[in-house]
Structure 1
Amino acid sequence: MKLVYFAWVRERIGLSEETVDVPDHVVTAGDLIRWLAGRGDAYAHAFEAAAQIRVAVDQEHVPQDAPLGPAREVALFPPMTGG
């Protein structure tokens, strides 16, 4: 699965994207965030405010309880404002 990171998530992890093999127990977007947070200090820092993280699965915004299914790409980013 391709993961894409934006804004301070990207800055804290130090990567803009990566490809990972997600374990079978990672079923929802929230599961993915919790799994990523356990991958090391940079990830833990990036996802310390997990409830704030927004998720897009295959370029469609989803809530954290949404199933990942056969997702090819997951984007993770902080809340954004804009006009």
Structure 2
Amino acid sequence: MPHQINIVYFAWVKERLGRDQETVAFPETIKTVEELVEHLRNIDVSYFDVFSDLKKLRFALDHDFVGTDHLLASAKELAIFPPVTGG
């Protein structure tokens, strides 16, 4: 049975994908944030360029900042956004 997670996009990630959020089903074999992002890159070309360099992105699972090696476990939401800069 596939897992589901709500993905929320911010800033230029949202602009380039043309949506601010979506619910994504993914196979149980996907365990980490990086594996999920790679899965997205493989299922739709629109993700490919946006997620080409994960070092330019930040991730939060259920409102907690995480690295790409973090386990998805039972998370309900993944937020993806560029680093915040001040000025």
Question: TM-score by structure 1 length?
Answer: 0.90
SS of the residue 2:65 aligns to: strand
SS of the residue 1:48 aligns to: coil
Q: Of 16, 21, 45, which aligns to 1:17?
A: 21
Runs ≥4 residues deviating over 6 A:
none
Q: Of 36, 39, 43, which aligns to 1:35?
A: 39
Aligned-pair distance for 1:63?
Answer: 0.8
Aligned-pair distance for 1:27?
Answer: 0.7
Mark the runs of 5 or more structure 2 residues left unpaired by the alignment.
none
Identity of aligned residues (%): 40
- Tell me the alpha carbon deviations over residues 16-46 of structure 1, each in whole angstroms, 9 at most, x when there is no partner: 0001112112211111111111232211111
Instruction: Kindly provide the amino acid, as one letter, of the partner of residue 27 in structure 2.
Output: P
Q: Of 39, 49, 53, which aligns to 1:49?
A: 53
Measured on the aligned residues, the alpha-carbon RMSD in Å equals 1.3
- Structure richer in strand, relative to its length: 2
- Tell me the alpha carbon deviations over residues 36-66 of structure 1, each in whole angstroms, 9 at most, x when there is no partner: 1123221111111122221000000011111
Mark the runs of 5 or more structure 1 residues left unpaired by the alignment.
none
Greater Rg by CA: 2
Question: TM-score by structure 2 length?
Answer: 0.86
